[in-house]
């Protein structure tokens, strides 16, 4: 096991009716709250009313319009409004995009620097405190200190680290009205988050392997059940908790991580505008195929413990584990080939160029250069 530090101070408030607790979670000493929203689905599913009701008597400013893949251009407007109004607490109401965007707003409110500079600095610690009301399980942003921000004018998408939400409210009932495709992308995103932290060198930590495998089995078990019964409370509760636990540090203690699939997926989103979870479903099988030698032992373990693959030669079992993974995404109704989403050579060439431009190779072993990224993408054609 590697040495590590684990720290996660977010208070998770989970369950039916928990939005009503908002008033208690935001300190009484707060003078003005800025509530941030996405495009308006919360007006249709009742979340907006629940939030406003819970904040009755508090001084509230609303900021609407944080888009999927939150754009720095939009967030600059939120920071300007927040500074003008003297906001001292932020409440993000939405999915990962609204929460990620609000993390950058929280940093921007405490800084005179431009927001993109803050993203490029990779880590910001001086932030306005924030809480969240999660509406779409997927990114884990509600209980971690990361955020991914897009810059529309240059088609860039980069991650940075900041503060943890003080609290996050997760009511599985708010997911009942989600479109099926958003749920599918959320399940894929959750699955790949776990894989990025699990599909690495085996035997680093028995517990982390067990916990990641337990989450993967859970997601695999609930995915078809959720498709058949999307208003089932217990299924959506397991989904919501899987997404949060899949990216809050609980499964990375003392182990290495990979994140190549995400780095390639972010580029596809930045260049082609495809939903994050959908990009991962196309890239992960390619990553596994290209890195199958390096990841062979863990792929065998994954095949056996997650998919029950025990028979056949080593190579056959690895093949089947990768096929099962691709099959999981296809069963979610997602494309697993770039061609299906009209991603072509132009995108591949640009991603290769960007990977090379970084000056360092990515992945657990630090060996994914532009050329390897191209191989992965060509494997997903």
Residues that bind its own copies (CB under 8 A): 1-18, 172, 205-207, 210-211, 213-215, 217-218, 221-222, 233-234, 237-238, 241-242, 245, 250, 253-254
- Nearest CA to 196 out of 255, 148, 137 is that of 255
- Phi and psi angles of residue 247, each rounded to the nearest 5 degrees, phi first: -150, 50
Euclidean distance between CA atoms 322 and 302, whole angstroms: 10
C-alpha distances in angstroms, 144 versus 22, 194, 294, 305? 19, 14, 29, 27
Q: Which C-beta is closer to its own copies: that of 68 or that of 172?
A: 172
Phi-psi map region of 151: left, alpha, beta (phi>0 left; psi -120 to 50 alpha)? beta
The residues that bridge with 90 in the sheet, in sequence order, are 34, 130
For its own copies, the closer of residues 15 and 46 by Cβ is: 15
Minimum CB separation of residue 114 from its own copies in Å reads: 32
Task: For Cα atoms 231, 237, 238, give the angle at the middle one, nearest 5 degrees.
Answer: 115
Sheet of strand 33-37, all strands in order from the earlier edge strand to the far edge: 60-63, 33-37, 89-94, 130-134, 167-170
Task: List all residues 6 or more positions away from 102 whose beta carbon is below 8 Å from its beta carbon.
Answer: 36, 66, 78, 90, 92, 130, 132
Write the CA distances from 132 to 22, 31, 100, 286, integer angstroms: 9, 18, 10, 34
**Residue 308 CB: number of other CB atoms within 10 A?**
10
Of 4 and 120, which has the nearer Cβ to its own copies?
4
Helices (H), 200-344: 206-228, 233-245, 260-272, 276-290, 296-307, 314-331
Is 5 or 313 the residue whose CB approaches its own copies more closely?
5
Task: Please state, as a whole number, how many other Cβ atoms lie within 10 Å of the Cβ of residue 358.
Answer: 11
Give me the least distance between CB of 72 and its own copies, in Å please. 31
Shortest distance, CB of residue 221 to its own copies, whole angstroms? 7
Count the Cβ atoms, other than its own, within 10 Å of residue 123: 10
Nearer to its own copies, 63 or 250 (CB): 250
* Cβ-based nearer residue to its own copies, 100 or 173: 173
- In the bound state with its own copies, the residue whose beta carbon lies nearer, of 7 and 360, is 7
The smaller minimum CB distance to its own copies, of residues 35 and 306, is found at: 306
- Indicate the residue among 13 and 26 with the shorter CB distance to its own copies: 13
Shorter beta-carbon distance to its own copies: residue 188 or 212:
212
Relative to beta strand 156-161, strand 146-151 is antiparallel
Angle, vertex CA 226, rays to CA 222 and CA 230, nearest 5:
150
């Amino acid at each position: 096991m590697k040495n590590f530090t684990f720290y996660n101070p977010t208070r998770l408030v989970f369950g039916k009716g928990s939005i009503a607790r908002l008033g208690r979670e935001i300190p009484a000493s707060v003078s003005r709250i800025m509530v941030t929203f996405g495009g308006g689905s919360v007006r249709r599913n009742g979340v907006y009313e629940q939030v406003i009701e819970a904040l009755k008597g508090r001084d509230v400013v609303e900021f609407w319009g944080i888009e999927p893949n939150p754009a720095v251009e939009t967030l600059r407007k939120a920071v300007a409004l927040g500074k003008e109004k003297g906001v001292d607490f932020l409440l993000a109401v939405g999915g990962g995009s609204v929460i990620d965007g609000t993390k950058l707003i929280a940093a921007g409110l405490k800084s005179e620097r431009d927001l993109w500079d803050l993203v490029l600095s990779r880590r910001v610690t001086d932030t306005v405190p924030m809480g969240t009301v999660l509406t779409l399980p997927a990114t884990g942003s509600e209980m971690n200190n990361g955020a991914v921000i897009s810059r529309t004018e240059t088609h860039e998408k980069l991650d940075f680290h900041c503060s943890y939400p003080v609290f996050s409210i997760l009511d599985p009932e708010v997911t009942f009205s989600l479109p099926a495709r958003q749920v599918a992308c959320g399940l894929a995103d959750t699955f790949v988050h776990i894989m990025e932290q699990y599909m690495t060198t085996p035997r680093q930590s028995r517990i982390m392997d067990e916990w990641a495998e337990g989450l993967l089995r859970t997601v695999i078990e609930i995915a078809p059940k959720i498709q058949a019964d999307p208003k089932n409370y217990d299924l959506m509760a397991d989904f919501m908790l899987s997404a949060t636990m899949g990216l809050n540090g609980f499964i990375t203690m003392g182990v290495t991580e990979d994140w190549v699939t995400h780095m390639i997926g972010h580029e596809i989103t930045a260049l082609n505008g495809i939903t994050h979870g959908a990009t991962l479903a196309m890239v992960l099988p390619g990553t596994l195929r290209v890195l199958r030698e390096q990841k062979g032992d863990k792929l065998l373990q994954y095949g056996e413990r997650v998919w029950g693959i025990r028979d056949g030669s080593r190579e056959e079992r690895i093949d089947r584990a990768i096929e099962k993974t691709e099959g999981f995404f296809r069963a979610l109704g997602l494309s697993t080939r770039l061609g299906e989403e009209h991603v072509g050579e132009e995108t591949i060439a640009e991603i290769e160029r960007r990977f090379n431009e970084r000056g360092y190779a990515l992945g657990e072993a630090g060996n994914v250069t532009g050329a390897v990224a191209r191989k992965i993408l060509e494997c997903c054609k």
